[in-house]
Amino acid sequence: MTAKDAPELRLRLGARLSAIAAWIPAGAVFADVGTDHARLPTAVVLRDPQARAIGVDVRAGPLSAAAATVARFGVASRVELRLADGLSAIEPGEVDTVTISGMGGERMVEILSAARASAVLRTLDRLILQPNTAAARLRRWLVAAGWALVDERLVCARGHVYVTILAQRGAQPSSLSSPARWSEDEWLLGPHALRRGGPALITLLRQELARCRRAETGLARATETEEVLRQRQQLARRRARLEEKLEEKLETRAGATQGRSSRPGEEP
């Protein structure tokens, strides 16, 4: 069955996957790591007849579901599925773009580090990454490995903010300062997000603050060692920065709201 004969002409994606799909170039040949049900690669090749994809998952169960999705929409000739860990089943030069989502930033760093060692990473043009956690760790690794953080988007889904990172080889965008001068807030929250602001950033700040407080609660029960004390101090400093940044953004939003509600000649 071809895509034209498929039960639906389009596969509708949620906000999270839509943010990733928006950055996949026309005609791309890409690998989707952690493809799960292969909704992302299926949707992309349905909208772009020139695109090709390799869906990769480390678990047989999700890959079986992915095969069902691909068959249902008639795109088996353009979406290949592989059972593998990370990018281990991808050959250098086989794809130009990689998307990874549905896992933490630490795991993404492991996958990318292995791909770097095998030369796969050197042949890529673009990385589109959506870490569930540890975005700061991922940003630091990307910059150290020579990747530019071209853009980032904050996507709200079910009360949670997901960071989507677009990275390409080369110099950082001229709109950003040198990474050597980035503050801890820029590494943690993203330089693009901090520059743009908006409601999603406020939600992200609250999210990171809650995560920080949970970590502090856990460490409060830990045996007091030098390392635990160091981590407690680090978390306390981070919490203080996040609280300050959140207060600043809330004040800015309140001021903007008040300004919009005021009219010439009227009391605000």
Per-residue pLDDT of the chain (268 residues; tens, 9 = 90+): 454 444 445 789 999 999 999 999 999 999 999 999 999 999 999 999 999 999 999 999 999 999 999 999 999 999 999 999 999 999 999 999 999 999 999 999 999 999 988 889 999 999 999 999 999 999 999 999 999 999 999 999 888 899 999 999 887 888 888 898 999 999 999 999 999 989 999 999 999 999 999 999 999 999 989 999 999 999 999 999 999 999 998 988 777 766 666 555 554 4
Report the candidate in 108, 166, 163, 169 with the shortest Cα–Cα distance to residue 138.
108
pLDDT, residue 3, reads 47
Q: At what angle do helices 199-220 and 226-261 cross, to 10 degrees?
A: 160
pLDDT, residue 177, reads 84
Report residue 262 CA to chain centroid gap.
38
Report residue 230 CA to chain centroid gap.
29
Report the candidate in 113, 117, 138 with the shortest Cα–Cα distance to residue 128.
138
pTM: 0.87
Assigned superfamily of 3-176: Vaccinia Virus protein VP39 (3.40.50.150)
Domain ranges of the chain: 3-176, 204-260
